[in-house]
Each structure stands twice: as structure tokens, then as C-alpha cells.
Amino acid sequence: MDKLMNLKLKVWRQDNADDVGRFEEYEAHDISPDMSFLEMLDVVNEGLIESGKEPIAFDSDCREGICGTCSMVINGAAHGGQKGTTACQLHMRHFSDGMTITVEPWRATAFPVHRDLVVDRTAFDRIQQKGGFISVRTGSVPDANAIPVPKDQSDLAMDAAQCIGCGACVAACKNASAMLFVAAKISHLSLVPQGQPERERRALAMVKQMDDEGFGNCTVTGSCEAVCPKEISLDFIARMNREYGRALIKKGTI
Amino acid sequence: MELRNSIDGGRGLYDTFVQLMDFITGIFKTSLGRKYLMAITGAGLFGFVVMHMLGNLLVFAGPAAINEYAAKLQGLGPLLWVARIGLLGMVGLHIWSAIKLTSENREARTVEYDAAVEPVDAHRRGDIVAKFAARTMIFSGLIIAAFAFYHLAHYTWKVPQINGAGADFELFYVAADFTTTLEGGEEGKDHADIFKMIVTGFKVPAVSVFYVVAVGLLCFHLSHGLSAMFQSLGVKNKNIAPWMDRFAVCASALIFLGYISIPVCVLAGFIK
């Protein structure tokens, strides 16, 4: 077993949405390099509970990198900045003994902090509800391959569909822009035949909702793509820009 | 339907009007629409910057070349005003959308991160942190706008107080051969001596230094803008992105060299 580590944590603590919040410092003792970042926080929380203090609130669910719940900025980088990795899949072996780690919540007006590291990401849900779906008849299961989908199109659609909606793109963007998320959702459905009937309406409605939620605008810095745990490409933002222009010309309004 | 019929007798004009208004709203009132405006007006202004540089470079072909070129531009009459109003419109839209987009960006994050960006993979820092040019577009842009205003006052409105050379460019006229300086020329009758204005103007070191700094800032602005505009217009992808980035850097560098060559050569005495 590798040598256990001792770390210093500087964590954002905020009692509720109305609290101003502050940083508090904690020590994490005997941390195994094989632990994930969240397991390390679990250990710290155990200690806090034992000493009668309030544990650090953070979101987590699947802990295998697919649910997109664990939203935290570690040392200034969303999810810690390892390529294609969520915070729950980030292992403590990437940190060195004795170092100080700063942990902050996503910072965006559209993602208000609920408590400590937990932010409200329902803005993403509302964007999805405006068009991130297809309308199909319910009933018996359709025949397989009844709708031919070109392989390259479906591959590209699946690349976009990888988005888990974690919000790291917003967290990393200097403008807190949600365009990588919205681009992934619009692109995913516009690339497959099933998404065609609602294609224009979807692009117009989702972009409008994105604006209404108070996210910023894309400055093409590439920060989002660099922190995205699913490595969604910046190309999808260009595709969204095309989709929106196409929808404006074809339909003009939702 | 009744409303529509009462307006245009059911000829569909109402629908067309509504569609057009929706289109305009979709451009001016949405994030992506404003990014289109930024990109299109930016591309237009880039075109102007290139043409202006090519015109300026005629100074190396001697007084006759640049003075004749200037006289031809002046002789365009109404077309010149179309170009001027078009340019002013593009500048206006570019600045309006820039201020609108930037203020939205500021509001989108009111609390900044405490920690400096130090990803666990240290080499990825450069990918995660936005480039300096991208972070400072609004500042470089507004300074360039201020410079452009000064530059117009300097050479177009010929305000004598700001040229620093103690000369009145308003009195610089050239004879019909476009080369011989003309004393006591008349406005509207004789052609302006652009060559003499350039030499006299840039002989003042402070003016030249300010000019070089402003052009440098413009090229810094272009080094990001020229590649980002392709993304905003939706024509960028990973295959051609490196070439668009190279185009942005090379075009900016060429524009910088093209513009600064003139004050440098004037100060060095190569153009006199």
C-alpha cells in the first residue's frame, strides 16, 4: 500500500442560499492515494461529524463518472482538471502530501449555491425541457433498423450525447456560458432522423431559454472543452451556431 | 385571421412582416444572434483594415501614387459616403454588441473563484485558462475605437492642435502632377498632399509611437477575433481550426508589419 497522505483543505462553506459564505480550513489525515476525491471528502466529513461539526455538503450520486452530479472546482479547475474526468473519478494520487487544496462550488449566476459545494442546476433542466427531447408515438416497440441512420452521423450524435449535464463547462468558462451544454444537446438530436421534425423549434427554444437563464456568451476560449469530463468538442458550438442560423432563416420564431 | 385580413386583405403581407420582425429579434435580442453580428461586422472591418493598409503602402511608390489614389477615393462622391456610412454602421454594431455581450458575461458570474487555476495535470493549464487576447477583447477594442477617433481627427478632419508638428494639414495641397507641393491651394479645386501629411505627421516621434502601439493592439485584437469569427458563424471544426488559427496569427502579423513600416520608415528617413 502506498504511503498515506496528509492534506490541508480550504473549503467554501455556506449555510444556505442567503448566507454570504466563507472559506474554512480543514486537515485531512491518513488519506490513501487510491481514494477518489469524494472518498477523501467522506473521510473529512466523518471526522467533522465525530467532533460534532456540520459536515461539508456536496453532491454525489453514481461515483463512476456518468451522472454528472459531483460539481466542484478543485484548485481553480472544474473537476480538478484531469483530462476527461469527473471529481468522483479523480484520485488522490494526483495530489502530493502536505499540499493545500482549495474546493469551491461552481460559480455562475444561473447556478446559485444551495449550500457549501451544492449548487442549483435546474437551469439546465429548464433548457432541456424547452426542446432537448423528441416527440414520438407511444405504443409497441418499433422494428429495429426501421429508420436508417448513417454511421458517421450516429457516431457524431453519440459524441454529443455523451454530455452528462454536469455544468463544468459553465464553471470553467470565464463568461459562465452554457453554450457547450446547449450545443451538445441541440447537436445530438439534430444529427439523427428522429430529431428532424422538431429541429428548428428545438434550436430556437433552447437558445432562448439559455439566454433567459442568465448564462454568459461564448468567447471561443476553449476552457469548456478542456474541463469537460466527456470531452465534448468545441465543434458542437459551431454546429449549434449553424443550427440556430438555419432555424432563424427557416422558421424565424418558436 | 380576422386581424390579418383587416390589415392586408389576406395577401400574406402581415405574415411576411411578422416573420421579418421575428428574424430581426432573433438576431438582435439573442446571444447567438449578437455573436453573428460581432463576426460579420468584424469581418467587414477586417476588410477595411486590409484595404486601408494596401492604400497606405502606396506611400512607398512615391508621392504621385498615393496622392493620385487619394484623389480617386475623394472623387468617388456619393459612393464615398455610402462606404463611410457603412463603416460607421459596422463600427456601431460591433461596439454595441460587444458592450451588450460583455455586460451579460459579467453578470453571468458575479463571484470569482478564489483559487488560481492549478489543474492536477499541470500541462493542461494553458488549455483551461482563456488566452490573454480573448480575455481583453473589450479593452483592446475600446482603445482601438478611441485611437480611430483620434486618427480621424489627425488626418481626416485635420485638427491642427493634435498633430504635434505645428503644421496645418488643411493647407497641404499638391499640384496637378500629384508630386509638387502647392502653396495656397484651394479646397475643392486642388488635391490634398497626402504624402506630405504622412511624412510631416509621423516625423513627430510621440505620434508614431502612439500609432505603433495602437496598431499593435489592433493586431492583438485580430489574433483572437479573426479565428473566433469562424466559430461564431458556425464554420469552424477541428480539421480546419488549426488553419483558421494560423490565418489569424499570420494576418495579424502581416497587418502589423504593413502599418508600422510607414512611421518606422518616416522616422528612419527612408520616406521624405
Q: Helix B205-232 vs helix B31-56: angle between axes, to the nearest 10 degrees? A: 140
| pLDDT per residue rounded down to tens, chain B (272 residues) | 556 556 666 667 888 888 888 899 999 999 999 999 999 999 999 999 999 999 999 999 999 999 999 999 999 989 999 999 999 999 999 999 999 999 999 999 999 999 999 999 999 999 999 999 999 999 999 999 999 999 999 999 999 999 988 889 989 999 888 888 888 788 878 899 999 999 999 999 999 999 999 999 999 999 999 999 999 999 999 999 999 999 999 999 999 999 999 999 999 999 88
Q: Helix B205-232 vs helix B241-268: angle between axes, to the nearest 10 degrees? A: 170
CATH T-level fold of A5-114: Ubiquitin-like (UB roll) (3.10.20)
Averaged over A122-148, what is the pLDDT? Answer: 91
Averaged over A158-168, what is the pLDDT? Answer: 97
In total, chain A counts a number of residues equal to 254
B227 to chain A: closest CA residue: A220
B108, B134, B227 member nearest A216 (Cβ): B108
Q: Do A220 and B231 touch (CB under 8 A)?
A: yes
Among A133-137, A158-162, B11-15, the range scoring the smallest mean pLDDT is: B11-15
Asked whether the predicted pLDDT for residue A1 surpasses 60, the reply is no
Residue A252 pLDDT: 74
Residue B11 pLDDT: 64
Interface test with A, best of B31, B34, B140 (most A CBs within 10 A): B31
Region B34-106+128-268: CATH code? 1.20.1300
Residue B8 pLDDT: 60
Between residues 18 and 57 of chain B, which touch chain A (CB distance below 8 Å)?
A: 18-20, 22-23, 25-27, 30-36
Residue-wise burial string across A119-156, b where 16 or more C-beta atoms lie within 10 A, e elsewhere: bebebbeebbebbbeeeeeeeeeeeeeeeeeeeeeeeb
Asked whether the predicted pLDDT for residue A207 surpasses 60, the reply is yes
Q: Do B128 and A77 touch (CB under 8 A)?
A: yes
Residues from chain A that touch B224, judged by Cβ atoms under 8 A, are 220
- Give the residue with greater pLDDT, B15 vs A161: A161
Residue B186 pLDDT: 82
Of the pLDDT bands very low, low, confident and very high (cuts 50, 70, 90), residue A69 is very high
Integer Cα distance of B137 and B139 in angstroms: 5
Q: Does domain A121-250 have CATH number 1.10.1060.10?
A: yes
Interface test with B, best of A82, A248, A249, A251 (most B CBs within 10 A): A248
A73, A104, A175 member nearest B108 (Cβ): A175
Residue A234 pLDDT: 96
Q: What is the nearest CA distance from B249 to chain A, expressed in angstroms?
A: 15
Domain spans in chain B, listed from the N-terminal domain onward: 34-106+128-268
Residue B14 pLDDT: 82
Domain spans in chain A, listed from the N-terminal domain onward: 5-114, 121-250
A76, A238, A252 member nearest B19 (Cβ): A252
- Give the residue with greater pLDDT, B1 vs A71: A71
